[in-house]
A = this chain, B = another copy of it.
Amino acid sequence: MKFTIEAISEEGRLGLLQTAHGVIHTPAFMPVGTAGTVKAMTQAMVRESGAEILLANTYHLMLRPGAERIARLGGLHRFMSWSGPILTDSGGFQVWSLAKLREIHEEGVIFWSHLDGARYELTPERAIEIQHLLDADITMVLDECTAWPTTKEDAAKSMQLSMRWAERSKAAFKEREGYGVFGIVQGSIFPDLRVESAEYLNTISFDGYAIGGLSVGEAREKTALMLNATTPHLPKEKPRYLMGVGTPEDLVDAVLSGIDLFDCVLPTRSGRTGQAFTRKGRLNLRNARHAEDSAPLDRACQCPACTSYSRAYLHHLAKSGEILSAILLTTHNLHYYQDLMADLRDAIRRNALAAFAAAFRGGIRNDGPEKS
């Protein structure tokens, strides 16, 4: 797996990540295809939004349809008919947030499925094996998601367990051309733990470094602080991935701090609940003020939802609970996120990232009639 940095503006980096299934232009946003589908989208729609890489969830896929089954069917790319790169998480976060019950041991985690209560064991070695079976271009180490709130002592213990699991994960990973494995920095909201974690992962040497535990609870508010504490301790020449973040504003801030990869359910989940992101702010399409508005969601957007349909129609669909509402709003939100990433890449290329970020914040925060 090869990562090339082509330009730098502030801490922001314009990069090219070459994987077995194709190239990713960074900073990049990965739509979340939890169970092997980006919800409410066909794979052609995801591709047309500009996405070059998807994230899929090991936890969901190991439960249903099962990693061995996907391997027998030719791997996840072939199974879901997505020819581009795929990053899989390790299942750690989902076990923590979705499983009915779980027990954490040094060896790994035992959990009971939220689908049928069946018992599963996930060790660092099994998490890597599953991701090999799925044929993920980018594999993530198994980590423990530190609870929130937490004491520093508990956060340290949790982080140190994650570091031992990271070492076992790396040992289990099979090197192949175009494939890579990323370590995950933990340490909750404690800068010195974050530094310790980053430096420890550095000694193991990964193809990329993720920053975990910042999409949970109040830790979100400390994201900028944690990034600024952590990134100086990560190798400059490797890609950096901020897991589970975030809003458009979060993405701009994190790119300014030197992050290269993002994933978040926000654009897709919002699309299924009548929410749209626009260049002027967010819209709730269920709001009655859209009922006779013949304008598109976002006049500057060239997506199929904006070029063919009015806010009035989208309001009608959202109020009626029609599937087309989820399809069109998800389509638009993914286009919006991909357009934002393209604008950020362009700003770095022009060495104008700070000016772009300032203009973006000014535009998005206006309180004109577009806000809902």
Contact = CB atoms under 8 A, between A and B. Distances in A.
Interface stretch (A117-125, A279-287, A315-323, A357-365): A315-323
Contact of A80 (B74, B313, B323): B313
Interface in A300-327: 304, 308-310, 312-313, 315-317, 319-320, 322-324, 326-327
Interface string A321-336: 0111011100000000
A40 B324 contact: yes
A36 interface: yes
Interface stretch (A22-30, A64-72, A85-93, A151-159): A64-72
Contact of A69 (B37, B43, B292, B320): B292
A64 B324 contact: no
Contact of A324 (B42, B304, B313, B315): B42
Nearest to A64: B320
Nearest to A79: B313
A319 B64 contact: yes
A228 to B, nearest CB: 39
B310 A39 contact: no
Interface residues of A, number: 38
A327 to B, nearest CB: 6
Contact of A316 (B64, B72, B323): B64
B39 A74 contact: no
A295 to B, nearest CB: 11
A37 B310 contact: no
B323 A35 contact: no
A316 B81 contact: no
Contacts of A81: 308-309, 313
Contact of A43 (B37, B39, B41, B308): B308
23 contacts: A37-B322, A39-B322, A39-B323, A40-B323, A40-B327, A42-B327, A43-B308, A64-B319, A65-B312, A65-B315, A65-B316, A69-B291, A69-B292, A73-B292, A73-B294, A73-B310, A79-B310, A79-B312, A81-B308, A81-B309, A323-B323, A323-B326, A323-B327
Interface of A: 35-37, 39-44, 64-65, 69, 72-74, 79-81, 291-292, 294, 304, 308-310, 312-313, 315-317, 319-320, 322-324, 326-328
